[in-house]
Amino acid sequence: MGSEMCIRDRYFGVTNTDPPPPTGTIYIYSDGEGVPCNDIEQDDIHFRNTSPYPISGVIKFEFDELYNFLNADEVVDSIVGNSVYTSYSNLGSYQNDWQYVNLNTPSEEFFGLYVHHTATIYAWYEGELIELDTDLDTQEVTCAYDPNDITGYPYGYTDDHLVLADTRMEYLIRFQNTGNASAGTVMVVDTLDVDMDFSTFQLVANSHNVMTTIEESGRVEFLFENINLPDSSANEVGSHGMVSFKVDFIDNVDVGEEINSTAHIFFDNNPAVVTNTTWHTIHECGGEAVFELSDNAICQGEQITMTSANPLVENHQWNIQSASASTTSEYSVEFPEEGQYIIQLVAENPICVESSMQMLTVYNVPTAEVTEEGAMLVASEGEAYQWYLNDEVIYGASSQEYQALEDGIYTVEVTNESGCSDISEAIMLSLIHI
């Protein structure tokens, strides 16, 4: 029998170059799908150091403003508004850690609203805390709690539960005996969506011994025989059970396809308890970095506005000539120097990241000057001219030279081949009248 060895790059502190910036991941796991009203919710925050050396830093957990903080398993450094900050130290290379936060859920008056939590991992690097990763958890306030339910992970992005076609889905089915007698046998049945690849099915976890069978139709049966699951009134903790599994989508699943999963739970010979239906929508990345420029060619000193055109973008990064410029969805800036500039937008959401570029040309502005030759006024070189007397247009005076006919203040607007123009300094002209 052969063996394989997985070797990762490690940083041992002895090198001719500086270590690379740290990297890491973070995920939020909540109690389930849907938020019960007037209850306590536990949010597990799992984070991982993917750097080739140990790191230290801070975990920021920002809970929805409709919640109230209750407690946490770790010593909290500080709570600012609805943000909880905790430190971690010397998390080893490729090691995991976790912490949990307990929150009081919203009251029934917020039924149907969506609430959002975010978790962010920061690490110290060159004397500064830098962000490594952020996760977003979105749930609906349901004001109801069914101990028998099914949850699909990841939850998916937006209220449409968007996931990519190459996502490996995990489904968790929970059940509880809320009767008044023990259940000798529990059967959990879930029929996989036709857009699931049945051959990739994998049992992940189960609370009790289980026999699993899967049919060609996609019907999966989890048989908990002789489970003797006590009822909740006799043993609330022992009355719960669960099973989870993973499965891939088929290779040619259509973008926009909705994937559904509903479990049926049988306690002994009783009718099925039908769970909620969890659903996801297949999404394809593309177009996140589409943006508009107010103009692709301007003159020195003029301003352009860059606007992100895709609503499914959480983070914007505008770069001008590879230098960071802004992180807003719309950004305006003036260009004082002529030249060609590469405008780049890096746009991302929790499942997609895309970059696109456009070229901006900034033309030079001519320097308008007037030379006096008696009553003859001569403008500096250009492609077009317009003379003014006392700030009023002199109609027909559109040549490089102009013969002044009366006293006053003269200026000229000189336009170059790029369409950029400049107005000269004013000249006071007093003619000698005979």
Torsion over CA of 58, 63, 65 and 68, rounded to 10 degrees?
-100
Asked if residue 380 has pLDDT above 50, the reply is yes
pLDDT in tens, 421-433: 999 999 998 876 5
Tell me how far apart the alpha carbons of residues 377 and 401 are, in angstroms, rounded to a whole number.
6
The values of phi and psi at residue 126, to 5°, are 50, 45
Distance CA 387, CA 379 (A): 9
Same domain, 169 and 297: no
Give yes or no for a contact between 77 and 143, defined as CB atoms under 8 angstroms apart: no
Instruction: Supply the pLDDT for residue 334.
Output: 96
Distances (CA, A) of 79 to 3, 55, 133: 49, 23, 20
Do 184 and 265 fall within a single domain? yes
Assess whether 161 and 224 both reside in one domain.
Answer: yes
Q: 290: which residues sit within 8 A by CB, 6+ positions away?
A: 308, 309, 310, 356
Mean pLDDT of the chain: 91
Mean pLDDT confidence for 105-125:
87
What region does 270 belong to: left with phi over 0, alpha with psi -120 to 50, or beta?
beta
Q: What is the pTM of this model?
A: 0.60
Of 139, 158, 115, 184, the C-alpha closest to 32 is: 139
Q: pLDDT tens for residues 138-181?
A: 988 876 455 799 999 999 999 899 999 999 999 999 999 988 88
- The reported pLDDT for the residue numbered 146 is 55
Domains in the chain: how many in total?
4
Q: What pLDDT was estimated at residue 430?
A: 85
DSSP 388: E
Provide the CATH number for the domain around residue 310: 2.60.40.10
User: For residue 4, what pLDDT is reported?
Assistant: 38
Same domain, 129 and 162: no
Mean pLDDT (whole number) for 290-318: 95
More confident: 236 or 320: 320
| 3-state secondary structure (DSSP) of residue 238 | helix
* 28 plus 113 within the same structural domain: yes
In this structure, the answer to whether residues 120 and 10 fall within a common structural domain is: yes
Looking at the structure, tell me whether residues 263 and 169 fall in a common domain.
Answer: yes
Which CATH number is 86's domain given? Answer: 2.60.40.680
CATH number of the domain to which 150 belongs: 2.60.40.740
What single DSSP character describes residue 65? T
* Last residue of one domain, picked from the residues 363, 381, 413: 363
Residue 154 domain-assigned (yes or no)? yes
The last residue of a domain, from among 230, 250, 284: 284
In a domain, 377, yes or no: yes
**Residue in this structure with the two tokens 């099915």, named with its chain if needed:** 201
Sequence-separated (6 or more) residues with CB below 8 Å from residue 1:
none
Mean pLDDT of 88-101: 92
Please determine, for residue 256, whether its predicted confidence score (pLDDT) is greater than 60: yes
Burial class (CB in 10 A: 0-12, 13-18, 19+), 195: middle
423 Rama class: left (phi>0) / alpha (psi -120 to 50) / beta: beta
| Token pair of 40 as six digits | 């306590």
**Does 431 or 137 have the greater pLDDT score?**
137
Question: Are residue 184 and residue 203 in the same domain, yes or no?
Answer: yes
pLDDT at 108: 67
Q: Of 118, 143, 168, which residue constitutes the final position of a domain?
A: 143
Per-residue model confidence (pLDDT) at position 32: 66
Question: Which residue from 360, 361, 362, 368 is spatially nearest to 387, judged by alpha carbons?
Answer: 368
pLDDT for the residue 10: 46
Confidence at residue 11, expressed as pLDDT on a 0 to 100 scale? 45
Closest among 278, 328, 300, 336 to 33, alpha carbons compared: 278
Pairing mode of beta strands 273-283, 162-164: parallel
What's the pLDDT score for residue 12? 46
Average pLDDT over residues 299-321: 95
Supply the DSSP symbol for 359: E
Q: Over 50: is that where the pLDDT of 5 sits? A: no
**Same domain for 28 and 65:** yes
Asked if residue 434 belongs to a domain, the reply is no
Mean pLDDT in residue range 224-248:
93
Examine the domain organization and report whether 202 and 279 are in the same domain.
yes
Verify that 240 and 150 share a domain, yes or no.
Answer: yes
- Residue 323 located in a structural domain: yes
Could you give the dihedral angle defined by the CA atoms of residues 197, 198, 203 and 209, in that order, rounded to the nearest 10 degrees? 160
- Residues 276 and 319 placed together within one structural domain of the fold: no
Type of residue at 425: E
Which domain does 233 fall in, by range? 146-284
Q: Find the range with the poorest average confidence among 143-152, 246-255, 333-342.
A: 143-152
* Average confidence (pLDDT) over 87-106: 92
Q: What is the mean pLDDT of residues 71-86?
A: 90
Which tokens in the block code for residue 264?
């049926």
| 68-72 and 128-140 beta bridge pairing | unpaired
Q: In whole angstroms, give the CA distance from residue 197 to residue 251.
A: 8
